[in-house]
C-alpha cells in the first residue's frame, strides 16, 4: 500500500511542505511518496487551453495520484481562502473527472504562521474534498507553526498529535485494502 503526501503550496520554504514531510516520515507500515506540486504546475485554467488538451503536467499528476491508497495533504491559507496555485490544479484535475482522490483515506491539514491554524481554508475545503473523491478521515490545523518547529526540533504535543493521526490513517489504509481482497 502506498500513501502519497503533498502540500498545496508553491512556496520555496513552505511550512505546509515541511508538515507533510514530517507526517510522511512517521509512516511505519506502508510505502510513502512525497509529491512536490510545483512539479505539476499548469497555466491558469482557460477553456481555450483545454480545447487544445488538458496540460501534460495535470495528466501526469492524476496518473501519480491514482497510484495512492491514501493521502496526507496540507494546505496554506491565502486571504482566507484556498491558494490560487492549489485551486488551479484542483480545477484542472476536476476537468478529468470528479474522482481525483479515488475515495481513498486522507489526512487533511493546514499550517499557518498565525494562531488560526488555517481555519478559513479548512472550512472552505472541508466540504469540497469529498466532491473530488477524498475520504477525509482526520483533520489537523497547526497554528503558530514557527513556534512549534524551532531549530528542527518539533513541539512534543504536535508530534504526538501527528503520530496519532498517522496511526489512524495507516490503519484505515490497511483496512480498506483488506476489504478489497
Ligand atoms: C497572498 C497571501 C495571503 C495570505 N493570507 C493568509 C491568510 O488569510 N491566513 C493566514 O493564516 N495566513 C495567510 N498568509 C500567510 C501564509 O499562511 C504563510 O505565507 C504560510 O507560510 C503559507 O504556507 P506555505 O509556507 O506552506 O506556503 C498569506 C500569505 C500570502 C502570500
**pLDDT score, position 180:** 77
Q: What percent of the chain has pLDDT over 70?
A: 99
Give the pLDDT confidence of 22-61 residue by residue, as tens digits: 999 999 999 999 999 999 999 999 999 999 999 999 999 9
The answer to whether residue 97 scores a pLDDT higher than 80 is yes
In this structure, which residue's CA is closest to atom 24 in ligand 1?
14
Q: Which atom of ligand 1 is nearest to the CA of 79?
A: 8
d(C-alpha 153, C-alpha 159), whole Å: 10
What is each CA distance from 35 to 64, 124, 164, 177, 181, in whole angstroms? 9, 23, 22, 22, 28
d(C-alpha 104, C-alpha 155), whole Å: 29
Full set of structural domains in the chain with CATH: 2-180 (3.40.50.360)
**pLDDT score, position 8:** 98
**pLDDT score, position 42:** 98
Nearest Cα neighbor of 70 from 38, 32, 113, 98 is 32
Confidence of residue 2 (pLDDT cuts 50, 70, 90): very high
Q: Is 15 in the pocket of ligand 1 (CB under 6 A)?
A: yes
The answer to whether residue 181 scores a pLDDT higher than 80 is no
Within 10 Å of residue 157's Cβ, how many Cβ atoms?
A: 9
Which grid coordinates belong to 176? 480498506
Which grid coordinates belong to 150? 524551532
Q: What is the pTM of this model?
A: 0.97
Q: Is 38 in the pocket of ligand 1 (CB under 6 A)?
A: no
**pLDDT score, position 115:** 98
Phi, psi (5° rounding) for residue 164? -60, -45
What is each CA distance from 93 to 39, 40, 117, 131, 176, in whole angstroms? 15, 11, 26, 12, 24
Best residue for ligand 1 mutational test, from 13, 76, 80 (most atoms within 8 Å of Cβ) = 76
Phi, psi (5° rounding) for residue 113? -70, -25
Any idea how long the chain is?
A: 181
Q: Which atom of ligand 1 is nearest to the CA of 74?
A: 26
Q: Is 116 in the pocket of ligand 1 (CB under 6 A)?
A: yes
Q: Report the phi/psi class of residue 102: left, alpha or beta, with left for phi > 0 and alpha for psi in -120 to 50.
A: left
* pLDDT, mean of residues 86-103: 97
Give the pLDDT confidence of 112-154 residue by residue, as tens digits: 999 999 999 999 999 999 999 999 999 999 999 999 999 999 9
**pLDDT score, position 129:** 97
Q: Are strands 153-154 and 149-150 parallel, antiparallel or unpaired?
A: antiparallel
Amino acid at each position: 500500500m502506498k500513501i502519497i503526501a503533498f502540500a498545496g503550496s508553491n512556496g520555496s520554504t513552505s511550512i505546509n511542505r515541511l508538515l507533510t514531510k514530517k507526517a510522511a516520515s512517521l509512516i511505519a507500515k506502508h510505502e510513502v511518496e512525497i509529491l512536490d506540486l510545483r512539479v505539476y504546475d499548469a497555466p491558469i485554467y482557460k477553456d481555450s487551453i483545454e480545447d487544445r488538451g488538458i496540460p501534460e503536467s495535470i495528466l501526469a499528476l492524476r496518473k501519480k495520484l491514482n497510484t495512492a491508497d491514501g493521502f496526507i495533504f496540507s494546505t496554506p491559507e491565502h486571504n482566507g481562502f484556498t491558494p490560487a496555485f492549489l485551486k488551479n490544479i484542483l480545477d484542472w484535475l476536476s476537468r478529468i473527472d470528479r474522482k481525483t482522490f479515488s475515495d481513498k483515506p486522507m489526512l487533511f491539514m493546514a499550517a499557518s504562521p498565525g494562531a488560526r491554524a488555517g481555519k478559513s481554508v479548512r472550512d472552505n475545503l472541508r466540504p469540497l474534498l469529498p466532491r473530488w473523491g477524498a475520504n477525509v478521515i482526520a483533520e489537523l490545523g497547526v497554528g503558530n507553526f514557527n513556534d512549534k518547529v524551532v531549530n528542527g526540533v518539533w513541539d512534543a504535543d504536535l508530534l504526538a498529535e501527528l503520530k496519532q493521526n498517522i496511526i489512524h490513517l495507516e490503519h484505515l489504509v490497511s483496512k480498506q485494502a483488506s476489504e478489497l481482497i
